[in-house]
Amino acid sequence: MNGCDRMSDSHQKVLQTRLSNGLEVRLKEIHTAPLISNWIWYRVGSRNERPGLTGISHWVEHMQFKGTEEFPEGVLDRMISRNGGIWNAFTHLDFTAFMEVMPADQIDLALRLEADRMANSLFKPEEVNSERTVIISERQGQENQPTFRLAEKVKAAAYQLHPYHHEVIGEMADLKRITRDNLYAHYRSYYVPSNAILALAGDFECQAMLDRIRELYEPLTSRPKMDFLAQIEPPQQRERRVTVNGPGETSYLEVAYHAPRGSDPDFMALTVLDSVLTGASGLRVMGGGLSNKTSRLYHALVEGEIAAAVSGSLSTTVDPYLYGIWVTVRPDQTPEKALDVLDGEISRLIDRPVAAEEVAKSIKQARALFAYGSESITNQAFWLGYSEMFADYSWFEEYLDRIAEISPEDVHAVAQKYLNPANRVVGIYQPVTEKAHV
């Protein structure tokens, strides 16, 4: 192991290093199953998009499946699948990630594939055009959901300057006009070694894996990464409200508070607050929390017979994002009534500290969810890279210790700091009833 390699102190050692071209590498040996999970993370997402080019990061992610000279489209799918692997990709606010889970003896294919498509994707014009309609179809599928339409409007109201203003999928008008050259330029700007982290966990020996990674990735030319400065969103001065009308019979309420970034010292206290208010959320790749029937808002809204369901969403992001509270309103109630009841619970949090027992319960739930989330090799590999997108790996390693330190007073302080009406957007989906017909 050379001088720049560093092993973390966690009970399962993590090798952390940087190649000469700037590519960060994280490796974690886990020998519980003959599998390896490989993730490559690029620091580019909808946060890096300008008006007129919204959705371009997600589209580039799609184009990464369209082949290179070495791995033409179709060959990629076939090779991963016939080797028993699975692969996927995700574009989010701050990142684009590509993953493969492979039988351990087949991992070289994934390593070669990701090294190749970091630099050599073709972006053929005909592929760009056929993918345009696929992505438009993806957006139309999302538009079918009232919750997507509401969330889109709430974000647009919450962010007037910062690119968190728009959905990851992008605006329809932009999807219709983005060109092959726009896409290729975006790809070349952000898909560079110094803007990426390669993270693997699973059944391998660290040193041998690192040697192979150096062999494949170090020859990739180091190019300067795009230095994109997202506009800073000024503090919101007063409450904003949006209403969306659409088909259906069900009303939804979203109340979104501006929240701190994932690395902020306040984040853990807000995590406990969310657990008390709307229920504990998980640390799995695809979410997966617990039931929330003992949370304060479930008691007030669902047991209070105002709502059919309630949930909360707190995200770990690079820049300050939103803490969203979602309410599915019962047909015999109104979103305004739900907001009144919700506000009563918010006032309780602001007026006095939560009980020590509520905090203790949140800590135990966090411990259980952390254990569930640590089970799979894929989840371990996910956190190796994902934590670096908004903080660093110590965020994940120290998560339970930091949660355990949170006191009722800490929760009280963040409630007073963030849960003010002036700091929020209230969104209502109001159905325009029109029965389906056959």
Partner 1 sequence: MSKPNNTLPKLDIRSLPGPDNILRRELENGIIVLARENFSSPSIVVSGFLRAGALDDARDKAGLANLTASALMRGTKRRSFNDIYETIESIGAGLSFAAGNHSTAFWGKCLAEDLTVLLDLLADGLRNPSFPSNEIERLRSERLTGLAIRDQDTGARAKLAFNKLAYPDHPYSIPSDGYVETIERLTVADLQEFHKDHYGPQAMIICVVGAVKAEAAVDAIEASLGRWTNLNKSNQPELPPIKTLQGILREDVVLEGKSQCDLVLGIPGPSRFYPSYIAAALGNNILGRFGLFGRIGDSVRKAEGLAYYAYSTIEGGLGPGAWQVTAGVNPVNIKKAIKLIQQEIGRLVTEGVTEEELNDNQANFIGSLPIGLESNEGVAISLVHMEQYGLGLDYYQRYPDLIAAVTREQILQAARQFLNPENLAIAVAGPGREHK
Q: Which of 45, 85, 324, 385 binds partner 1 (CB under 8 A)?
A: 85
Question: For residue 395, what are the CA distances in angstroms to 285, 383, 385, 389, 390?
Answer: 16, 10, 11, 11, 9
Stretch that binds partner 1, among 83-91, 188-196, 311-319, 408-416 (CB under 8 A): 83-91
Question: Binders of partner 1 among 361-400, rule CB under 8 A?
Answer: 361, 364-369, 371-372, 374-378
Q: What is the DSSP letter of 302?
A: I
Question: Binders of partner 1 among 395-434, rule CB under 8 A?
Answer: 432, 434
Q: What is the DSSP letter of 357?
A: H
Asked whether 421 and 347 are in contact (CB, 8 A), the reply is no
> Which phi and psi (to 5°) does residue 101 adopt?
-115, 125
Q: What stretches of 203-354 show up as alpha helix (H) in DSSP?
A: 206-217, 267-278, 296-297, 335-351
Binding of partner 1 by 6 (CB under 8 A): no
Q: Which of 52, 74, 125, 344 binds partner 1 (CB under 8 A)?
A: 74
Q: Return the number of the residue (22 or 103) whose C-beta is nearest partner 1.
A: 103
We find the least distance from the C-beta atom of residue 244 to partner 1, in angstroms, to be 11
Question: Binders of partner 1 among 263-322, rule CB under 8 A?
Answer: 279-280, 290-294, 302-303, 305, 308-309
Question: Binders of partner 1 among 95-134, rule CB under 8 A?
Answer: 101, 103, 106, 129-134
Of 48, 325, 41, the residue nearest 165 (C-alpha): 48
Binding of partner 1 by 331 (CB under 8 A): yes
Give the interface size with partner 1 as a residue count (CB under 8 A): 79
Q: Return the number of the residue (70 or 239) whose C-beta is nearest partner 1.
A: 70
Q: What is the DSSP string of 15-81?
A: EEEE-TTS-EEEEEE--SSSEEEEEEEES-SGGG--TT-TTHHHHHHHHTTSBBSSSBTTHHHHHHH
Angstrom distance (rounded) from CA 361 to CA 366: 9
Of 29, 38, 41, the residue nearest 388 (C-alpha): 41
Question: Binders of partner 1 among 14-73, rule CB under 8 A?
Answer: 32-35, 65, 70-71, 73
Q: What stretches of 8-98 show up as alpha helix (H) in DSSP?
A: 56-63, 75-82
Pairing of strands 86-91, 322-329: unpaired
We find the least distance from the C-beta atom of residue 281 to partner 1, in angstroms, to be 12
We find the least distance from the C-beta atom of residue 176 to partner 1, in angstroms, to be 13
Question: Binders of partner 1 among 184-243, rule CB under 8 A?
Answer: none
Question: Binders of partner 1 among 146-175, rule CB under 8 A?
Answer: 146
HSE, side-chain direction, 13 A CA sphere, residue 435: 2
Residues 359-373 as b/e (b if ≥16 CB within 10 A, e otherwise) read bebbbebbeebeeeb
We find the least distance from the C-beta atom of residue 59 to partner 1, in angstroms, to be 13
Q: Return the number of the residue (133 or 179) whose C-beta is nearest partner 1.
A: 133
Q: Which of 6, 13, 50, 78 binds partner 1 (CB under 8 A)?
A: 78
We find the least distance from the C-beta atom of residue 211 to partner 1, in angstroms, to be 22
Q: Return the number of the residue (210 or 273) whose C-beta is nearest partner 1.
A: 273
Angstrom distance (rounded) from CA 254 to CA 77: 39
Question: Binders of partner 1 among 238-257, rule CB under 8 A?
Answer: 246-250
Q: Return the number of the residue (135 or 322) whose C-beta is nearest partner 1.
A: 135
Q: Which of 51, 141, 219, 344 binds partner 1 (CB under 8 A)?
A: 141
Q: What is the DSSP string of 134-154?
A: HHHHHHHHHHTSHHHHHHHHH
We find the least distance from the C-beta atom of residue 132 to partner 1, in angstroms, to be 7
Q: Return the number of the residue (196 or 366) whose C-beta is nearest partner 1.
A: 366
